[in-house]
Structure 1
Amino acid sequence: MSSKFNTDKRSLRGEVKRAIKRYYRNLDGEHPIGLYDLTLSQIEPPLLEVVMKKCRGNQSEASKILGLNRGTLRKKLAKYGLL
């Protein structure tokens, strides 16, 4: 049975988990500051780019896929220079 939070090695969650672990290893014992915001700022732009490309620039369709209202999507696209 599939779970919403599937930790299978092929899942998005699993990929993110491996990336965070790799990031920690690369810090060589240093402690990150603002990791949550850093992570979001690194994940959001490619997520938005890929979804917008798949939707051929249709913001209404992209907002449905992302579960965001269209205004929020536009703000995020503008924030990352994707408009």
Structure 2
Amino acid sequence: MMTDAVLSKKENKEYLTVTHSKKSEPLRQCVSDAMQRYFNNLDGHGANNLYRLVMNEVEAPLLESVMKHTGGNQSQAASILGISRSTLRKKLSQYDLD
């Protein structure tokens, strides 16, 4: 399996980009592979704010997908996600998804 995880910048924001050729693998393994490749690509540079970087890359598309799945129903989306509706609204606003 070939996986590349690269930290890039766009509009003063950092993005973790993952490219892989394996057709099917668990999300957990994709994250693990991406993080390993990210650390390998640091080339002696330090990692900063990694938790925020990863969460920003994962949380927004998760919220988007669930909102689409529920047809925009925030109560149903919050239930699926296991969070309160007020937390969902806050997160949707945080990512400009409201």
* Unmatched runs of 5 consecutive residues or more in structure 2: 1-23
Of 15, 37, 41, 2:56 maps to: 41
Of 30, 43, 50, 1:15 maps to: 30
Structure number having the greater strand percentage: 2
1:79 has 2:77 as partner: no
For residues 29 and 57 of structure 1, the distance between their equivalents in structure 2, rounded to whole angstroms, comes to: 44
Tell which has more relative contact order, 1 or 2 (C-alpha 8 A, sep 6+): 2
Deviations 1:33-78 (A, max 9, x none): 1111111111110111111111111111110111100000000000
Percent of paired sites with the same residue: 51
C-alpha root-mean-square deviation of aligned residues, in Å? 1.4
* Unmatched runs of 5 consecutive residues or more in structure 1: 1-8
- Normalising by structure 2, report the TM-score: 0.69
- Normalising by structure 1, report the TM-score: 0.80
* 2:36 counterpart SS class: helix
1:56 has 2:71 as partner: yes
Of 22, 40, 46, 1:31 maps to: 46
For residues 23 and 50 of structure 1, the distance between their equivalents in structure 2, rounded to whole angstroms, comes to: 25
Q: Which runs of 4+ in 1 moved over 6 A?
A: none
Residue type of the alignment partner of 2:66: V
Structure number having the greater helix percentage: 1
